[in-house]
Structure 1
Amino acid sequence: MGALLKAEFRKTFTTNLWWALLIPVAVIGFGAGWMGTSFVGFLNSIQQLDRPVPLALLSVAMSANFSTIFGALFGALTIAGEYRNKTITTSFLTSNPRSAVLIAKLILAAAVGAVYGLVNVLCASLGGLVGASQNIGQFGDIGDWLSVGATCVLAMVLWTLLGVGFGALVANAVLAIILPLVYKFVVEFIVSMALVSSNVSGIGPYLPGSAGNGIVSNLAVPLFIAAVAGPDEPDVPRVAFEILHVFFGGHYGHAWWASMLTFLAYTAVFIAGGWWASRRRDIA
């Protein structure tokens, strides 16, 4: 396994794929952080706010929810790309069993996904500092910020692992790129809108994309509202949560850990499917 892991890391870091997908993760993180704190500064210039508004918590959630797709694409292409280039043949022929290759790729994906998540959080923090002009009150409590940042890294790792399973399942580099993008930004959006006024709207939080987004947003939104409302304020109406969830992802009353468990189940299903397909697929 050690030699197989070394080979997987060497194959990854001697190609352009990992850093090419890291660039948009960094750009999205910086842009979201900068826009979030800049907007609070704009509001503060119009009317002096009586307490800090930690919009950076929501900004990092938004940046994570847009960036995780790049982790999924990386994971999918690490194995689907090998099927396209026929390099998977050597890996399968020199390892026994084939599942060892998949395990090595999952370990690689978890490591790279953690790097992607950390870069996203750090760039969002840097962008937030630039937009806030060093007014760190817009970041909220340091414990809240670290908690949201940790869920960002966790979400990125899980999306990257799901991508490996999906890439092993379809074994086609084109489909590995197109299908996740179309599903997350088109299909699930349409399905979610259709569910809003239906009798089965309760299944919304359990859709793959919603569950993945909820890992971060279902923590960030309540922390943001608690910080803005303050301990002396009456109960915040449900509509305030729902409006923020519309823009920043997640669902009212659905805990972040419930979203994590739901998405973890999807990840396990795709990995199992990829393992099954890899064992049965002929190689050439």
Structure 2
Amino acid sequence: MGRLINAEFRKTLTTKSWWGLMIPAVVFAFGFALGWGAFANKVGDVLSSRETQLIAEALGISTGNLPMGLLAIGHGINIGLTFPVIFGVFALAGEYSKKTITTTFLTAPNRVSVLSAKMITYSIWGAIYGLIVAAASSLGIVLTVNSERLPTAGQWLGVVGAAVLAGILATLFGIGVGAVWNSVVGSVITLTIYLLIVENVLVLLFYGLWHVDWLGGVLPNGTMNGIVGAIGAQAFGAAGVKVPGLDQETQWTLQYVAGAPGAFSWWASALVFLAWTMVFFVGGWISNQRRDIT
């Protein structure tokens, strides 16, 4: 198994895909965190105004130094995690397209060991993507959010840990989709359109027309985003343990601003996305046990 894992690392390091996808992941993560950080900081200015504080004090609510940065960092990390999903597609579907899968399967004891080595190798890559994307997003909010509104050390560690977990699952999800589809181009195009457009439109449409506020908490992209985004939403009582008196519309809006509309909690999002990952990963695993390699 050790030799197979070393072989998988050599395969990825000798191609351009790992850094070719890392660059846009960092750029988009930084850019989105920068933009949402500026927006969240403006909201913080409004909440810190004398008029707002007087109203809040009358209602018994504290609007002190809220961690507005948590509402922005999730957006940067979530957009950045789209790229490890695409990176995962290349793990198996890429070998089929390049006709190297035959050598890979024939030089290994069995196909199960090959897929296990890929799972371990790409899990490590997913963790690396998660760390780097979290670092880029953190830099984005540091540059735009006032220091007193940044996450605490504990919250920051929680976000980084969640980003690493989400990166691992996102990469494995990509492997599964690519293995089932068996096409790099088809998988990448379909995933990109679905993750960035289709599911977001569905979530907004169902909430706007029928007030369905939980859809993002069960679909793949929403649950992947919720692993990190729900941490910000929970800090404002919009996920997990709710603040008394927080109505449904305000709760969903805060979740949306945090990048996790419909999320129940970060750990629930992780479990649901793990389920989606296993559905595709096991499906790809099974289909590749029977697939010809000629």
Give the TM-score taking structure 1 as reference length: 0.87
- 1:268 maps to which residue? 278
- 1:230 maps to which residue? none
Partner Cα distance (1:55, 1:202) in 2: 23
**Paired letter, 2:114:** V
Change (3 A) 1:44 1:256: closer
- Aligned residues of 1:166 and 1:176 also touching (Cα < 8 A): yes
1:208 aligns with 2:220: yes
Change (3 A) 1:162 1:93: same
**Paired letter, 1:82:** E
- 2:190 maps to which residue? 179
- 1:18 maps to which residue? 18
Matched residues, number: 276
Aligned pairs (5 A) from 1:135-214: 135-196=146-207, 197-198=209-210, 202-214=214-226
Change (3 A) 1:199 1:27: closer
Shift of 1:52: 2.6
Partner Cα distance (2:185, 2:281) in 1: 19
Partner Cα distance (2:244, 2:202) in 1: 35
Runs of 5+ unmatched residues, structure 1: 228-232
1:241 aligns with 2:251: yes
Shift of 1:6: 0.6
Partner Cα distance (1:95, 1:124) in 2: 40
Paired-residue identity, % = 37
Helix, strand or coil: the match of 1:52? coil
- Aligned residues of 1:218 and 1:252 also touching (Cα < 8 A): no
Partner Cα distance (1:33, 1:199) in 2: 28
Deviation per residue, 1:10-47 (Å, 9 max, x gap): 01011110011111221122223333443455567789
Partner Cα distance (1:202, 1:57) in 2: 21
- 1:126 maps to which residue? 139
In the alignment, which of 116, 124, 132 is matched to residue 103 of structure 1? Answer: 116
Partner Cα distance (1:255, 1:45) in 2: 27
Runs of 5+ unmatched residues, structure 2: 50-62
Give the TM-score taking structure 2 as reference length: 0.84
C-alpha RMSD over aligned residues:
2.5
- Aligned residues of 1:64 and 1:156 also touching (Cα < 8 A): no
In the alignment, which of 196, 217, 224 is matched to residue 229 of structure 2? Answer: 217
Helix, strand or coil: the match of 2:81? helix
1:280 aligns with 2:290: yes
Change (3 A) 1:47 1:236: closer
Shift of 1:265: 0.7
Deviation per residue, 1:234-280 (Å, 9 max, x gap): 74444322112234332457122111111101111111111111111
Partner Cα distance (1:216, 1:47) in 2: 24
- Aligned residues of 1:60 and 1:149 also touching (Cα < 8 A): no
Shift of 1:161: 0.7
Partner Cα distance (2:189, 2:36) in 1: 30
